[in-house]
Amino acid sequence: MLSHLAGLRVGQIAGLRFDDVLETDGSVTDRVHINPAIAKGGVGRTVFVNKRLQREIRRYLEALPALPGPSAPLFHTQKNSAFSPNTLCQLFEELYRKAGIKGATSHSGRRGFITKLAHSLHLNRLRQKTPRAKG
């Protein structure tokens, strides 16, 4: 969902920690700061978290047996270590394959997010430049 609803790259998802998505009071944040260490090109950025993604993160956290420390990886392997971007990429492809989604990759969610955003921005510009019809 982080890929589809926030446009995150697989390496960014693999590098997220609990304190990246949680406020100090334990609530899910409305923005995530992508640390330069996990960002492409080494440039950090802020990603806004919409209500749907906040709900999905909350559901994920509620399904965990216990919350680990704030600096623990948000997603971990069966060995309780952080995913490498490559391993998470392979997991994405396996999940898409099992779901019967042909040709999807770990980048598909991000690509869809950007396409949807571009269409939304284009429509907003079009609305701004198009005079409203008077009835």
1-18: pLDDT as tens digits: 898 889 899 999 999 999
- Note the pLDDT of residue 128: 61
| Residue 79 forms part of a structural domain | yes
- Note the pLDDT of residue 111: 85
Question: Mean pLDDT over residues 72-97, rounded?
Answer: 91
How many angstroms separate the CA atoms of 47 and 123, rounded? 22
| Residue 9 forms part of a structural domain | yes
pTM of the model: 0.81
- Note the pLDDT of residue 135: 43
pLDDT (tens digit per residue) in 25-50: 999 999 999 999 988 888 888 999 99
Q: Can you give the CATH number for the domain in which 49 is found?
A: 1.10.443.10
| Residue 88 forms part of a structural domain | yes
The answer to whether residues 33 and 20 touch, using CB atoms and an 8 Å cutoff, is yes
Task: Give the range of the structural domain holding residue 91, as residue numbers without chain letter.
Answer: 2-129
Where in 23-65 does DSSP place strands (E)?
Answer: 31-34, 45-48
| Residue 134 forms part of a structural domain | no
Q: Which residue has the tokens 């996990």?
A: 38
How many structural domains compose the chain? 1
